[in-house]
A and B are shown apart, each in its own frame.
Chain A
Amino acid sequence: MADTIVRSRTRLRRRVPRAASWVLWGYGVISIYPLVWLVIQSFRQDGEILRSPWGLPASPNLNGYLTAFQTTPLAQYFLNSLLVTLSVVVLSVVCCAGAGYAFSRLRFPGSNAVFATFLGVLVVPAPVLLLPVFLISRDLGILNSYVGLIGPYVAGTLPIGVYLMKTHFDAIPDSFVEAASIDRASPWQTFRMVMLPLIGPAAATVAVLAFMAAWNEYIYALVSIHSPELFTLPIGIADLGAKKFIYGYAPVFGAMVLTALPVYIAFVVAQRSFIQSLTIGGGVKG
């Protein structure tokens, strides 16, 4: 399907002004330069970085990475972050889809009020929630565990996620649903046959939001986890950053590269299917 689009684009391509290319590539450089800088710096010696932040490595070496791995178990942190984040993404999409569909199509008594509550909690600033969530997690006995992170993180994506899903389902023309009910489909079947295949764009968006929130979250992870085996990458980076006057900047940069690159690679790999999922929603107007 993507090919069809490309083929019909070739006619437009000739009319594209040179300026478009310049703008895109120019902005692309601004976008990627900081990452390139980070990678270059991670190969430098400690003193060099502070002395000449914009220069190239005099003798590129992996000392930064070695020190980073020797002082903190980054591999373990990486696996922890991965486990938590992937769980959050899956659970977020499932919960938000379910609730979004329920509020959109399966009205139950009070569903409007409940939906309003989902949105209502957005107005409370996050620092207000930090300690109470900690105390509640402690009472539930889920502190210092993966569940203790996954639960609050998924909850955090609910307001916007449910809103996105509901809006998406609302936009599906009633004709689709009517077609299904003519076939005497039960609500569950309607969901499976009609809604699920069209869920692509909304699910992709919720997945992206959930991923970014969980992968980068720092303060709550710091407060609720105290076993080093369970630390996530942001905590690892902060640790190395705190010791930068002892070990230098290179290890911190190395850890940062290791945190940033997997996300980047995952996006590159997923890009094709991501764009396709955004496209599948072609049956529904943006």
Chain B
Amino acid sequence: MKFQFKRSRAAAALAIVTVAGLALAGCSTSTSTTSSGLTTDPTQIKGSITFSTWWAYANQKLVDGFSKEYPNVKVKLDFTAIDTYPTKLQALASSGDLPDVFAAQNASLVDLQKAGQLYNLKDALATAPYDGKAKTWGGSFNASLLKGANATLDTSKGETWGVPFNAISVASIYNKDIFDKVGIKVPTTFAELLSNCTALKDAGYIPMSLTGAVWGTWWTSLAWDQTMNGEKVADFSVSDPNYIKGFQIVQKMAKAGCWTDSQVTTDIAAETSLFLQKKTAQFVSVPENFLASVVKGADFKLGTYVLPALDGKDPNRILGGGNANVLVVNKASKNLSAAVAFAKYLTSTKVETDLASSQFTIPSLDINLSSGNPLMAAYLEAAGHGFTDSSTYLPNFSTAGYTTYSTEIFPNLVLGKITPEQAAQQTEGLFQK
């Protein structure tokens, strides 16, 4: 008797909500509550949230654009330099003061999820996006990028912990004057890339940037996507010839003289400086931040080209970004509705297109971009080839394992101190269990 009474009460309540929902549906394109209890109605979302990031182009103007549609929400922007950003996150995580929405990458992302600090965005992704043609927020993203953002995390229960903010596309900027002087052309095959390196080295230039302090390991990642694509990660072994081949490709580049020894520790500023001083002929980088500074500082002719396939398999996919630029929501946030809404805003078509044209970023959404800037074309073309999906054929490095790999094994390989076979062997035990 009691039970029936309760059920009819519940039914009545449900009816009211549905009617209200239908009534409001005329005002907004989404239902006013998600299945997890979050509001998506802009008029109902109020309060203040904190957004933390290391992205230099995230400024108050970007953040204020959110207030146009959500006037009752105040967003505080917390910028910290990338070097110390993880330390700050650690401190805030230990004391339970993480920001509501924030960017995370690599090791800190993995450990944040393990410690249960992240909010499961699965339900939110099924709701409508901030803008754009896609039906759901999840659908607005490039599928492989969304997958990549969560690839190093535990998603065994179908969770989605983060969304990709931007994609990593890599191309080579080159000094046209040097190329003309040495008499070489833009390479279309790996062999041409190598012969260019040798020619440039013989002419007394540094052929290519390495940025060993942060970007060196791109080369192995690009190589493995060529040699190991199609293999299954469950079958992975460090003795796999295709795995070793990735190291051999890097060794070939080192032997062709593409880099000088000191470049295993150069940082971005040093490489940019060398390029602008016409000492380096080719600068391999991402477009945001650096394309603009190179264009501003160069007093020579510039060109860009798409990197050729390192093992001949076209179209060669580009890095994509994996877990390098991920946006997450704090599980303990006191204003989840506002946090999720802000995350949707940051990954909206409007914001990502604006940033792409003004800051040379590559959007993580499934939208077509054509840039007015001819230099940007190579990056967009590379992105158009698709993104690498290493989690299908390669296990993830553990945090400490990646440190060993990037600061010892990779540099030693480039310096010629170890062979590719030794490098592969030394990575045994460096992967996540």
8 Å CB contact of A135 from B94, B269, B272, B276: B94
Interface assignment of B17: CB less than 8 Å from any CB of chain A: no
Contacting residues, chain A, for B289 (C-beta < 8 A): 245-246
How far does the Cβ of B49 sit from chain A's closest Cβ, in whole Å?
A: 14
Of B84, B88, B91, B290, chain A has the most CB atoms within 10 Å of the CB of: B91
8 Å CB contact of B269 from A138, A226, A244, A246: A244
Task: Answer whether A131 and B81 are a contact pair too, CB < 8 Å, given A46-B296, A245-B290.
Answer: no
Task: Answer whether A131 and B94 are a contact pair too, CB < 8 Å, given A47-B297, A245-B290.
Answer: yes
Q: Evaluate contact between B90 and A131: CB separation under 8 angstroms.
A: yes
Give Cα A245 to B90, complex, Å.
26
Q: Evaluate contact between A243 and B95: CB separation under 8 angstroms.
A: no
Give Cα A149 to B5, complex, Å.
61
How far does the Cβ of B190 sit from chain A's closest Cβ, in whole Å?
A: 30
Interface assignment of A260: CB less than 8 Å from any CB of chain B: no
Interface assignment of B354: CB less than 8 Å from any CB of chain A: no
Contacting residues, chain A, for B272 (C-beta < 8 A): 50, 245
Interface assignment of A254: CB less than 8 Å from any CB of chain B: no
CB proximity to A under 8 Å, residues B88-108: 88, 90-91, 94-95, 97
Residue of B nearest to A242 (CB): B81
How far does the Cβ of B179 sit from chain A's closest Cβ, in whole Å?
A: 19
Q: Evaluate contact between A50 and B276: CB separation under 8 angstroms.
A: yes
How far does the Cβ of A279 sit from chain B's closest Cβ, in whole Å?
A: 42
Interface assignment of A51: CB less than 8 Å from any CB of chain B: yes
Residue of B nearest to A48 (CB): B297
Q: Evaluate contact between A47 and B54: CB separation under 8 angstroms.
A: no
Interface assignment of B214: CB less than 8 Å from any CB of chain A: no
Task: Answer whether A243 and B56 are a contact pair too, CB < 8 Å, given A47-B297, A219-B84.
Answer: yes
Give Cα A57 to B83, complex, Å.
30
Contacting residues, chain A, for B57 (C-beta < 8 A): 246
Interface assignment of B277: CB less than 8 Å from any CB of chain A: yes
How far does the Cβ of B186 sit from chain A's closest Cβ, in whole Å?
A: 24
How far does the Cβ of A218 sit from chain B's closest Cβ, in whole Å?
A: 8
* A-B interface contact total, Cβ < 8 Å: 76
8 Å CB contact of A223 from B79, B91, B269: B91
Give Cα A138 to B91, complex, Å.
11
Q: Evaluate contact between A238 and B273: CB separation under 8 angstroms.
A: no
Give Cα A226 to B57, complex, Å.
19
Interface assignment of A10: CB less than 8 Å from any CB of chain B: no
Q: Evaluate contact between A248 and B91: CB separation under 8 angstroms.
A: no
Q: Evaluate contact between B94 and A239: CB separation under 8 angstroms.
A: no
Write out, one digit per residue, whether chain A residues 211-223 have a CB within 8 A of any chain B CB (1) or not (0).
Answer: 0000000110011
8 Å CB contact of B297 from A46, A130, A241: A46
Q: Evaluate contact between A219 and B87: CB separation under 8 angstroms.
A: yes
8 Å CB contact of B277 from A50, A134, A239, A244: A50
How far does the Cβ of A216 sit from chain B's closest Cβ, in whole Å?
A: 15
8 Å CB contact of B292 from A48, A239, A245: A245
8 Å CB contact of A51 from B54, B82, B84, B277: B277
Give Cα A50 to B84, complex, Å.
24
CB proximity to A under 8 Å, residues B298-350: 298-299
Contacting residues, chain B, for A245 (C-beta < 8 A): 56, 268, 272, 289-290, 292-293
Residue of A nearest to B90 (CB): A131
Interface assignment of A17: CB less than 8 Å from any CB of chain B: no
How far does the Cβ of A49 sit from chain B's closest Cβ, in whole Å?
A: 8
Interface assignment of A53: CB less than 8 Å from any CB of chain B: yes
Interface assignment of B78: CB less than 8 Å from any CB of chain A: yes
How far does the Cβ of A252 sit from chain B's closest Cβ, in whole Å?
A: 10
Q: Evaluate contact between A222 and B293: CB separation under 8 angstroms.
A: no
Residue of B nearest to A224 (CB): B91
Contacting residues, chain A, for B292 (C-beta < 8 A): 245-246
Of B57, B82, B277, B293, chain A has the most CB atoms within 10 Å of the CB of: B293
Contacting residues, chain A, for B79 (C-beta < 8 A): 239, 242
Interface assignment of B80: CB less than 8 Å from any CB of chain A: yes
Interface assignment of A175: CB less than 8 Å from any CB of chain B: no
Interface assignment of A52: CB less than 8 Å from any CB of chain B: yes
Give Cα A241 to B290, complex, Å.
14
Give Cα A263 to B153, complex, Å.
48
Q: Evaluate contact between B91 and A52: CB separation under 8 angstroms.
A: no
Of A238, A239, A242, A243, chain B has the most CB atoms within 10 Å of the CB of: A242
Give Cα A114 to B78, complex, Å.
42
8 Å CB contact of B84 from A135, A238, A243: A238
Task: Answer whether A222 and B95 are a contact pair too, CB < 8 Å, given A53-B273, A245-B293.
Answer: no
Contacting residues, chain A, for B94 (C-beta < 8 A): 131, 134-135
Q: Evaluate contact between A47 and B296: CB separation under 8 angstroms.
A: yes
Give Cα A218 to B297, complex, Å.
30
Of A47, A219, A238, A241, chain B has the most CB atoms within 10 Å of the CB of: A47
Q: Evaluate contact between A223 and B88: CB separation under 8 angstroms.
A: yes
Give Cα A4 to B213, complex, Å.
57
8 Å CB contact of A134 from B80, B83, B91: B91
Contacting residues, chain B, for A244 (C-beta < 8 A): 269
CB proximity to B under 8 Å, residues A48-63: 48, 50-53
Q: Evaluate contact between A242 and B54: CB separation under 8 angstroms.
A: yes
How far does the Cβ of B266 sit from chain A's closest Cβ, in whole Å?
A: 13
Contacting residues, chain B, for A138 (C-beta < 8 A): 95, 97
Write out, one digit per residue, whether chain A residues 127-157 have a CB within 8 A of any chain B CB (1) or not (0).
Answer: 0001100110010000000000000000000
How far does the Cβ of A148 sit from chain B's closest Cβ, in whole Å?
A: 12
Give Cα A134 to B90, complex, Å.
11
Contacting residues, chain A, for B80 (C-beta < 8 A): 222, 242
How far does the Cβ of B292 sit from chain A's closest Cβ, in whole Å?
A: 7
Q: Evaluate contact between A238 and B78: CB separation under 8 angstroms.
A: no
Residue of B nearest to A220 (CB): B91
How far does the Cβ of B76 sit from chain A's closest Cβ, in whole Å?
A: 9
19 contacts between A and B (CB under 8 A): A47-B296, A47-B297, A51-B276, A51-B297, A131-B91, A134-B94, A134-B95, A138-B97, A223-B88, A238-B83, A238-B84, A239-B81, A241-B81, A242-B82, A243-B56, A245-B293, A246-B56, A246-B289, A246-B292
> Which B residues lie at the A interface, using CB under 8 A?
54, 56-57, 78-84, 87-88, 90-91, 94-95, 97, 268-269, 272-273, 276-277, 289-290, 292-293, 296-299
Known: A51-B273, A246-B57. 19 other contacts (CB 8 A): A48-B297, A50-B269, A50-B273, A50-B293, A53-B273, A130-B87, A131-B91, A134-B91, A135-B94, A135-B95, A222-B84, A222-B88, A238-B81, A238-B84, A241-B81, A242-B80, A245-B272, A246-B289, A248-B293
